[in-house]
Amino acid sequence: MENEKFIIQGLEGQRAFEGKIPVRGAKNAVLKTFAASLLFGNEIRVDNVPFIQDIANMNELLRHLGVGVERIEEKSFVLNSPDAIGTDLCGDIAKSFRSSIVLTGPILAREGKVIFPHPGGCVIGERPIDIFLESFKKMGADIDMHDRQYVISADKLAGAEIVFKIPSVTATETLMMTATLVPGKTILHNVACEPEIVALADFLNTGGADISGAGSHTIVIKGRDSLLKSKEPYQTPPDRIEAGSFAILAAVCGKDIEITDCKPDHLRVFLRTFDNAGVNFETTENSIRIKMSPQLNAINVKTHEYPGIPTDLQSPLAVFLTQASGRSLIFETVFESRLDYLSELSRMGADVMICDPHRAFITGVTPLRGREIESPDLRAGLAFIIAALVAKGESIVHNIHNIDRGYENIEERLQMVGADIKRI
Ligand code: EPZ
C-alpha cells in the first residue's frame, strides 16, 4: 500500500545476522514469460513465480487483453490466451512498470496492431524505446502517435536483419518473441545475453519455436505462422539480483548466512569482485554461504551487461563500499541517472564524492546513522534497507511500494536471519 513504511533498527556496524535466506524466482524472467503466454495456442503453466506487485500489474494487463490468468498454487500460475486478444494496453497500468513494453511484440505479431503508452518503471535514466520502434519498422510496421500513445500497425510483417545500437534486455526479449510468429528469418545482432533471455528462448523452443543463439550477442529466429503449443511448465530461474543483494547484506551484517535456492553461476563476475574485496564466502551449485570477513577492502565497481556486474546491484554495492576500507570507484555504464540515491546515502554518513552522472568515489569505513529515507526506486530501496541495518539507531524507509514491486515479503525473509524490520 502507498503509505506503508519500514521501521528498521540498525546493528551499528556489528556483523550479527545468522541463518538461511531463500531466493525467489526472478522478476525479470517471469514477467517476460507471462507476456509470452500470448504466443501460445494452449494453456501455459509457470512455476516458481514470486508474489510481487509487478506480477500483479502484468496480470491485470493480460486480463485486460483477454488472457485467463489463474494462480493454481502458491507459486504457480496458468495462463490461457484466447483466439482473439485486445490490441490496446491499458494506459494507467502500462505506464506504471517498464515490462509492459514486452507485451507489444507478441500483440503486434498476432494481431497486426498494438496501441500503448510510453512505459514507466524506475526513474533511472531516459529509458527510450527507439530500439523497439526501429525494429518493428524493419519488420514492416508503421509507427504513429495519437493522444500520446504509440500506434503500431502492419498489414504484413516479415523477418528482418536488425542491428541493435545497444544490447537492450527488454528489446532483445520483445523482438525474440515478435519474430517467433513472424514468417521468415530474423537475425538480431548486438543483443543482450542475460540468463533470463536464455530461459525465455528455451521455453519458447520447447513449445515449437526455432530460436538459436540466445545467450550470445546474435540470435536467429525462424518464424512460424501459427501459435506455439506449450509442452512443459516454465521453471522461473532464481533471481540473481536478489541473491546478489542478500550476499551484500550478509557481507556487511552477517556472522554466517547461507543464501539458498539461487544460482551462483549467474553471478560469476560479481562474486569475483567480492573475492577481491576480501569477502569470506563459498558456493555450491545452488547456494552462497557468507561468513564474517576479517576486513572488507575497497574495490572498483564497473557495471556492465551480463556477464558483468549488473547495474541492478550497483546501489547495494555502494552500501557495501561504505563498509570497505579505502577509496572505491563506482562506474555506472548502463543508465544515465542511477547515482541519484547517493546523496541520501551521504546524509546517512557515507563519504561519497559524485564526479559526474556516471561516476562516484566512496571512501570507507564510515559508520552510518539511522534516518528517515524515501525509497527512490526498487533497487536503491533495498540498498537503503541494507544501509539502515548497518546504521546506528532507527531508520524509517518510506515509499516501500517501490520495494514491493520486486521483492516478495522482504521483511519476513530478512527477519529470518535476525533483522529488526517492521512494516507499519
Ligand atoms: C532491464 O531493463 C531490466 N528490467 C532492468 O531492471 C535492468 O536494470 C536492465 O535491463 C539492465 O540490465 C527488466 O528486465 C524489466 P535496457 P531494460 O533496455 O530492458 C538503453 C529492475 O530494477 N536503451 O537493457 O529497460 C537504455 O536507456 C530493472 O529490475 C535505448 O537507448 O534496460 C539503457 O541505457 C531496472 N533504447 C540501455 O539501453 C531502447 O530502445 C540498457 O537498457 C532501449 C534501451
Q: Domains in the chain, please, with CATH?
A: 6-24+238-423 (3.65.10.10), 27-235 (3.65.10.10)
- 411/56 Cα distance (integer angstroms): 19
pLDDT of residue 2 exceeding 80, the answer is no
- 164/159 Cα distance (integer angstroms): 15
* Count of beta carbons in the 10 Å neighbourhood of residue 284: 11
Residue 113 Cα distances to 39, 74, 87, 157, 188, angstroms = 15, 35, 6, 11, 22
Task: Tell me which residue has cell 543464501.
Answer: 259
Q: What is the mean pLDDT of residues 101-117?
A: 96
Q: What is the mean pLDDT of residues 254-278?
A: 98
Q: What is the mean pLDDT of residues 141-153?
A: 92
Count Cβ atoms within 10 A of the Cβ of residue 232 and give its class: 0-12 exposed, 13-18 middle, 19 or more buried. exposed
- 82/107 Cα distance (integer angstroms): 12
Answer whether 243's CB lies under 8 Å from 23's CB. yes
For residue 131, give the ligand 1 atom closest to its CA: 40
Q: What is the mean pLDDT of residues 240-258?
A: 98
pLDDT of residue 125 exceeding 90, the answer is no
Q: How far is the CA of 169 from the centre of ligand 1 (A)?
A: 6
Question: To which H or E segment does residue 287 belong?
Answer: strand 287-291
pLDDT of residue 190 exceeding 70, the answer is yes
pLDDT of residue 96 exceeding 90, the answer is no
- Identify the pLDDT of residue 143: 96
Task: Return the residue whose CA atom lies nearest to atom 31 of ligand 1.
Answer: 128
Q: What is the mean pLDDT of residues 35-40?
A: 97
Average pLDDT over all residues of the chain: 95
- Identify the pLDDT of residue 119: 81
Backbone φ/ψ region at 112: left (φ over 0), alpha (ψ -120 to 50), beta: left
- Identify the pLDDT of residue 313: 98
User: At 63, is the pLDDT very low, low, confident or very high (cuts 50, 70, 90)?
Assistant: very high
Is 0.85 topped by the overall pTM? yes
- Identify the pLDDT of residue 3: 86
- Residues in contact with ligand 1 by the CB-under-6-Å rule are 28, 31, 98-99, 122, 125-132, 166, 168-171, 192, 310-312, 334-335, 378-379, 406
Q: What is the mean pLDDT of residues 16-35?
A: 97
Q: How far is the CA of 167 from the centre of ligand 1 (A)?
A: 9
Least confident of 126-130, 136-140, 142-146: 126-130
Cα end-to-end span (Å), the chain: 10
- Identify the pLDDT of residue 126: 67
Q: What is the mean pLDDT of residues 68-91?
A: 94
- Identify the pLDDT of residue 319: 98
Q: What is the mean pLDDT of residues 274-299?
A: 97
Q: What is the mean pLDDT of residues 172-188?
A: 98
Closest CA to 51 of 21, 75, 86, 87: 75
pLDDT in tens, 38-47: 999 999 999 9
Q: How far is the CA of 8 from the centre of ligand 1 (A)?
A: 31
- Identify the pLDDT of residue 123: 61
pLDDT in tens, 355-394: 999 999 999 999 999 999 999 999 999 999 999 999 999 9
pLDDT of residue 280 exceeding 90, the answer is yes
pLDDT of residue 124 exceeding 60, the answer is no
Closest CA to 113 of 85, 138, 94, 135: 85
Task: Return the residue whose CA atom lies nearest to atom 9 of ligand 1.
Answer: 169
- Identify the pLDDT of residue 257: 98
- Identify the pLDDT of residue 22: 97
pLDDT of residue 222 exceeding 60, the answer is yes
> In sequence order, what are the residues at sequence separation of 6 or more whose Cβ sits closer than 8 angstroms to the Cβ of residue 92?
none
The DSSP code for 122 is -
| Peptide bond connecting 252 to the previous residue in cis, omega within 30 degrees of 0 | no
Cell numbers that stand for 226 in this block: 501459427
55, 267, 334, 379: residue to mutate for ligand 1 pocket, most atoms within 8 A of CB? 334
Phi first, then psi, for residue 281 (nearest 5°) are -145, 160
Cell numbers that stand for 330 in this block: 563506482
- Identify the pLDDT of residue 98: 86
Task: Return the residue whose CA atom lies nearest to atom 5 of ligand 1.
Answer: 312
- Identify the pLDDT of residue 337: 83
- Identify the pLDDT of residue 1: 64
Task: Return the residue whose CA atom lies nearest to atom 43 of ligand 1.
Answer: 129
pLDDT of residue 120 exceeding 90, the answer is no
pLDDT of residue 28 exceeding 90, the answer is yes
Q: In 66-105, which positions are buried (b, 16+ CB within 10 angstroms) versus exposed (e)?
A: ebebeeeeebebbbbbeeebbbebbbebbbbbbbbbbbbb
pLDDT of residue 122 exceeding 70, the answer is no
Answer whether 193's CB lies under 8 Å from 216's CB. yes
- How many residues does this entry show for the chain? 424
Catalytic residue positions? 122
User: What one-character-per-residue DSSP string does 16-72 give?
Assistant: -EEEEEE--B-HHHHHHHHHHGGGBSS-EEEES----HHHHHHHHHHHHHT-EEEEE
**Residue 88 pairs with which residues in a beta bridge?**
115
169, 304, 336, 337: residue to mutate for ligand 1 pocket, most atoms within 8 A of CB? 169
For residue 306, give the ligand 1 atom closest to its CA: 12
* Count of beta carbons in the 10 Å neighbourhood of residue 314: 26
